[in-house]
Amino acid sequence: MKKQLLLFSISFVALILGSYFYFTSSDNNLNEEDARNFAIEEIEKIDKIFLADKKGTQVTLTKENKIWKVNDTYVARHKRIQTLLKTVQKVKVKQRVPKEQKQRILKNLATNNIKAEFFSKGELVKSYFIGSADGTTTGTYMLLINEDSNENYPIPFLTHLIGFEGYLTPRYEPNPNTWRDLSIFYFPKNAIQSVKLDYKESSENSFEIKLEKSKYELFHNNQKVSGNSSKIKKYLLNFKSIAAENLLISQVKDTVLKKIKKQDVWFTLSVTNFLGKTISVEGYKKKMPPGSKNSIGMPLTFDPDRFYGFCFENELAILQHYVFEPLLITKSDLE
Amino acid sequence: MIKNKLKDLTNFLTGFIIILILMIFSYFSFIKIDLTEDKRFTLHESTIELMETLDDVVEFKIYLENEHLPADLTRVRNSILETLEELSDISDGYVEYEFIDLYNTIEDPKTREQSILNLKRRQGLEIVPIPFRKENGELDRVYVPLGAEAFYKGRSIPVPFIRQAKGNKTNTYEKAIEELEFEITNAIRKLKQDSMKTIAFLQGHGELGRFDVEDFSKSLYEYYQTGPAYIKNKEGKEQLNALNGIDLLIIAKPVQPFTQKEQYIIDQFIMNGGKVLMMLEGAQGAELDSMQTQGIVFAAPLETGLDAMLHKYGVRLNKHIVEDLQCSKIPIQTTASGSGGRFQLYSWIYNPVLKSKNNHIINKNLDPVKVEFCSSFDTTSIEDIKFTTLYQTSGNNRYKKLPSRISFRETANEKIISDNFKKGSKPVALLLEGEFGSYFKNRIAPEFTANKKIKFKDVSGKNKMIVIADGDIGKNWFSQRQEMIPLGTDQYSNVFYDNKKFLVNCANYLLGDEELISVRSKKIKMRLLDSKMVKEKKGFITILNTALPIGIILLISFVFIIFRKVRFSK
């Protein structure tokens, strides 16, 4: 009986082990599974991302109350964060690095990389180095770091997102400015208290819209003028989502500041909401280099696509005419 | 009593668990004893050799993966897995593979659709729609690529597991399983290839054009660089170096004569080790499409000048047309056009179907090939040349002398008397191997041959060439919608002949890539049910299949009970 029980126990343990391997095994046969496991499945648990390159540029993205922030200061661009998180979740090894190229790629990764670290509740979940694209620009070299030993694995891999044709390095950009939410005006319907638009060079076109007795009224030089209420309402809807194209980085910023100091301000646009918060943009036309011509050979003095603007409490940004065109109307357009 | 019961239960459970364990471990362990006649589960030697030469990892990403795969495709998928598992074992892990379900990997339907389309358009993988019923009962479908991508040393290549094929699905999938090893090793070979050999289709003498040999050319393109070659330049002057850099010259159905200079250039190409595959016609004017418009053609002997060269190499191209009882069928109008123009399939003795002699790696395990208005060869004994007949007429044939008239009516109305078709078989496709003597030896002035700049060679080193007495063997036809009909397809009966495999084998052999042929020629016999017999004896087979197993169990039980009675009655 004892023998039988022993045989039964051994068989039972073997069955448990066998079942475990059976149910955890996969049909795939990939060597160095640990070194190629770049993806993080549970991206919703990530609450901090640190990105840094070799030049010292770095950014920390943190999630607080479901809102991602850049360096704990600015609100981060939601879409950009989602793109990064989806990338982190879906990144897969496209192919191995050829043996002959391994040293070269490791060298490149050592000298030019972006380090990405992902944390959950203060604990490092995953970290890896992101290198450049391969020759076809459809793969990105990456090297995983072992979280336990904090040393990188010896084998880099070419990674990609299945279904995406391009490389992934720009998604891990460590420049904080690229992560900032560049929305200037984001006023939902009926959230605006007043709008003031001043054209310095053509003051006759300037106007102001104020909410008075539940009705938006049009003003010019502080004098009420008759305005078309449906046109005004339609105009105010344009403030729903207006964003800057980019912020100017310091070196370029100094040069631009010197240039625009010599210019007059083109317009000043201020919008105040019901909480009394005012957001202003000061626009300056962007001069073209002398001799510039458009597609039909006419001389161009100013850039027809972009202009400069002070926004986000006096930060210099690049703005697009296409985006601002609906806002930069004249008084007569509202009459 | 309780102790006994516990003992029985323990015995039973132990036995049950041991069986379960055996099942689980058999899932992991890879032990295979191939008892099949055609060794369908055994890897070819050249495959093993190839795996042993791998010096870096080959990765396969297989897209034939989805939860809705039907049973036959699951079989293909499992066969892929088994083959790759085995290759991985042999190669010491130098083969890695991963099954990717695009429906699990790509969430966005548009991106997914685009990716699947890209696999079709850019990689040439077949996409199959698989219908399935959703939980709410709605019918939906998924699209699964029938192939993979292979990666090696930074290069990648598509691996089609199922190529476009007509016919029923069972045959297609059986064929896919049959050709799995070839497709996988073929991909590895291509990825390993550092430099590609060059094959040129000679042009300038009315040869088959780019579109005529499109399918053949495409098949060669998988392994070699292919393109046209012209001996004459734009001014019409022959260029001595016109064939330099070409490894294999294909001369497909020339109908205009070659000048002496052109012959010299081809001859010297052979003398210098160049390989040649000639597909020559013995007759001119005998074309089926000409007959379709006129109902009658006049065939005359065709003299291109190449036959004279061939004679020097030991082969004579007979100036006749083969009429063979082993032939394919063509539709012939049996009623007048006014009454609807009924067509009926008739055996067309001018389209012989040649069975493989199965005597050489080139024709091993190949299905028959179809030729049209072919001629035949005679060989003359030349000491240093070995002749191998790859295909020949059936023996139930006769030879139509030229010039001659061929018409639908005469052929259809002729009463076939088999005694009239006893002229004996003659080779139609020949392999020549050995040292070839130059056609121009003792034919040109000694000052010319002695000129060191000319570098005239009067004898080749060890060389080989293949000659086929039919030009149309490599020609693909086009449908009325201008779609290419795969080479070897009989458009009237939808029968597939192995013309393409044979010609690609010829090219592989001439260029020394025999290992490609040996894996391709692996043949698995499909042991399908005899549908006629199944239909006739359906009831009997059903009863047999249901009752026999039960009967056997009952018999065993009966014997067991008797045995116990006898044993315990004592």
Q: How much is the average pLDDT of B55-62? A: 92
Same domain, B404 and B296: yes
Whether B276 is in a domain gets the answer yes
Question: CB–CB of B176/B213 below 8 Å?
Answer: no
pLDDT for B267 equals 95
Domain boundary among B126, B159, B191: B191
Whether B25 is in a domain gets the answer yes
- Phi, psi for B138 (deg, rounded to 5): -70, 145
Query: Does residue B383 surpass a pLDDT of 90?
Result: no
Question: CB–CB of B231/B265 below 8 Å?
Answer: yes
Same domain, B559 and B498: no
Contacts of B252 (CB under 8 A, 6+ apart): B201, B202, B207, B208, B212, B213, B279, B471, B474, B475
A91 vs B contacts (CB less than 8 Å):
none
Q: Are β-strands A246-247 and A267-273 bridged in parallel, bridged antiparallel, or unpaired?
A: unpaired
Q: Find, among A257, A279, A255, A263, the residue nearest to A327 by Cα.
A: A279
Distance, CA of A192 to CA of A291 (rounded, Å): 43
Distance, CA of A251 to CA of A153 (rounded, Å): 38
Q: Find, among B455, B420, B457, the residue nearest to B440 by Cα.
A: B457
pLDDT for A38 equals 94
Q: How far is A124 from chain B (nearest CA, A)?
A: 25
Give the number of residues written for chain A: 335
Whether B420 is in a domain gets the answer yes
Question: Given an 8 Å threshold on Cβ–Cβ distance, is A30 in contact with B96?
Answer: yes
**Could you give the percent of chain A with pLDDT greater than 70?**
98
Query: Does residue A179 surpass a pLDDT of 90?
Result: yes
In terms of residue numbers, what domain contains B469? 196-520
Question: Given an 8 Å threshold on Cβ–Cβ distance, is B24 in contact with A21?
Answer: yes
- CATH number, domain of B124, equals 3.40.30
Same domain, B223 and B350: yes
Q: How much is the average pLDDT of A62-74? A: 92
Whether B525 is in a domain gets the answer no
Q: How much is the average pLDDT of B399-404? A: 91
Same domain, B382 and B356: yes
Q: Find, among B382, B372, B331, B360, the residue nearest to B509 by Cα.
A: B360
Question: What burial letters (b/e) apply to B323-348, b meaning 16+ CB within 10 Å?
Answer: bbbbbbbbebeeeeeeeeeeeeeeeb
pLDDT for A256 equals 86
Among the partner-chain residues B10, B11, B24, the one whose CB lies closest to the CB of A18 is: B24
pLDDT tier for residue B268 given thresholds of 50, 70 and 90: very high
Ramachandran class of B124: left when φ > 0, alpha when ψ lies in -120 to 50, beta otherwise: left
Same domain, B26 and B130: no
Question: CB–CB of B220/B226 below 8 Å?
Answer: yes
Q: Which of A23-27, B139-143, B515-519 has the lowest mean pLDDT?
A: A23-27
> B105 touching A, CB under 8 A?
yes
Half-sphere CA count of B58, side-chain side, radius 13 A: 32
Could you give the residue ranges of the DSSP H alpha helices within B29-108?
45-52, 71-90, 102-105
Distance, CA of B522 to CA of B512 (rounded, Å): 18
Distance, CA of A243 to CA of A281 (rounded, Å): 11
Domain boundary among B191, B222, B251: B191
pLDDT for A44 equals 93
Among the partner-chain residues B21, B112, B153, the one whose CB lies closest to the CB of A11 is: B21
Question: Given an 8 Å threshold on Cβ–Cβ distance, is B59 in contact with A96?
Answer: yes
Whether B109 is in a domain gets the answer yes
Going across the sheet that includes B327-333, the strands are B327-333, B343-354, B369-370
Query: Does residue A259 surpass a pLDDT of 80?
Result: yes
Among the partner-chain residues A25, A28, A163, the one whose CB lies closest to the CB of B111 is: A163
Mutation pick from B12, B27, B96 vs chain A, by most beta carbons of A within 10 Å, is: B96
Whether B497 is in a domain gets the answer yes
pLDDT for B522 equals 62
Q: Find, among B152, B156, B176, the residue nearest to B58 by Cα.
A: B152
Same domain, B138 and B226: no
Tokens of B78: 């499992």
Q: How much is the average pLDDT of B339-367? A: 84
Question: Given an 8 Å threshold on Cβ–Cβ distance, is A19 in contact with B28?
Answer: no
Q: Convert the pLDDT of each residue in A70-86 to its tens digit.
A: 999 889 999 999 999 99
pLDDT for B163 equals 66
Question: CB–CB of B470/B476 below 8 Å?
Answer: no
pLDDT tier for residue B11 given thresholds of 50, 70 and 90: confident
Q: How much is the average pLDDT of B48-54? A: 88
Q: Which chain A residue shows the shortest CA-CA distance from B118? A: A163
Number of domains in chain B: 4
pLDDT tier for residue A24 given thresholds of 50, 70 and 90: low
> A104 touching B, CB under 8 A?
no
Same domain, B290 and B426: yes
Q: Find the helix or strand (DSSP H, E) in which A320 lies.
A: strand A315-320
Question: Given an 8 Å threshold on Cβ–Cβ distance, is A162 in contact with B17?
Answer: no
Give whichever of A5-9, A280-284, B33-37, B441-445 has the largest mean pLDDT. Answer: A280-284
pLDDT tier for residue B38 given thresholds of 50, 70 and 90: low
pLDDT tier for residue A27 given thresholds of 50, 70 and 90: confident
Same domain, B365 and B256: yes
pLDDT for A52 equals 95
Whether B447 is in a domain gets the answer yes
B96 vs A contacts (CB less than 8 Å):
29-31, 96
CA A130 to chain centre: 18
pLDDT tier for residue B201 given thresholds of 50, 70 and 90: very high
> Which residues are paired to B300 by β-bridges?
B284
Question: Given an 8 Å threshold on Cβ–Cβ distance, is A95 in contact with B154?
Answer: yes
Same domain, B200 and B311: yes
Q: Convert the pLDDT of each residue in B235-245 to its tens digit.
A: 889 998 899 99
What is the helix, strand, coil percentage profile of chain A, to 5?
30, 35, 35
Contacts of A256 (CB under 8 A, 6+ apart): A248, A308, A316
pLDDT tier for residue B528 given thresholds of 50, 70 and 90: low
Question: Given an 8 Å threshold on Cβ–Cβ distance, is B14 in contact with A11?
Answer: yes
Q: Find, among B186, B197, B193, B199, the residue nearest to B158 by Cα.
A: B186
Chain B, 152-191: which have a CB under 8 Å from a chain A CB? 153-154, 156
Distance, CA of A249 to CA of B303 (rounded, Å): 80
> B151 touching A, CB under 8 A?
yes
Amino acid symbol at A18:
G
Q: Find the helix or strand (DSSP H, E) in which B323 lies.
A: strand B320-324
Amino acid symbol at B397:
N
Distance, CA of B500 to CA of B214 (rounded, Å): 11
Q: What is the mean pLDDT of chain B?
A: 86
Query: Does residue A116 surpass a pLDDT of 80?
Result: yes
Question: CB–CB of B312/B295 below 8 Å?
Answer: no
Contacts of A219 (CB under 8 A, 6+ apart): A207, A208, A209, A210, A225
- CATH number, domain of B333, equals 3.40.50.880
Q: How much is the average pLDDT of B509-531? A: 72
ipTM: 0.71
Domain boundary among B191, B221, B252: B191
pLDDT for B553 equals 94
Query: Does residue B544 surpass a pLDDT of 80?
Result: yes
Contacts of A246 (CB under 8 A, 6+ apart): A177, A182, A317, A318
Q: How far is A257 from chain B (nearest CA, A)?
A: 43
Q: How much is the average pLDDT of A124-130? A: 94
pLDDT tier for residue B341 given thresholds of 50, 70 and 90: low
B95 vs A contacts (CB less than 8 Å):
29
Chain A, 180-239: which have a CB under 8 Å from a chain B CB? none
pLDDT tier for residue B314 given thresholds of 50, 70 and 90: very high
Q: How much is the average pLDDT of B430-441? A: 93
A98 vs B contacts (CB less than 8 Å):
56, 153-154
Distance, CA of B160 to CA of B147 (rounded, Å): 4
Question: Given an 8 Å threshold on Cβ–Cβ distance, is B100 in contact with A94?
Answer: no
Question: Given an 8 Å threshold on Cβ–Cβ distance, is A99 in contact with B17?
Answer: no
Give whichever of B35-49, B426-440, B485-499 has the largest mean pLDDT. Answer: B426-440
pLDDT for B529 equals 64
**Which has more pLDDT, B377 or B135?**
B377
pLDDT for B429 equals 95
Whether B58 is in a domain gets the answer yes
Same domain, B349 and B488: yes
**Which has more pLDDT, B337 or B407?**
B407
Question: CB–CB of B59/B97 below 8 Å?
Answer: yes
> A134 touching B, CB under 8 A?
yes
Could you give the residue ranges of the DSSP H alpha helices within B106-160?
109-121
Only one residue has tokens 């079989």, namely: B75
Query: Does residue B40 surpass a pLDDT of 90?
Result: no
Same domain, B400 and B287: yes
Q: Convert the pLDDT of each residue in A199-257 to its tens digit.
A: 988 989 999 999 988 899 999 988 999 889 899 999 999 999 999 998 887 777 888 88
Same domain, B561 and B449: no
Q: How much is the average pLDDT of B123-127? A: 85
User: CA dihedral defined by A17, A20, A22, A27, rounded to 10 degrees?
Assistant: -130
Return the DSSP state at A170: G
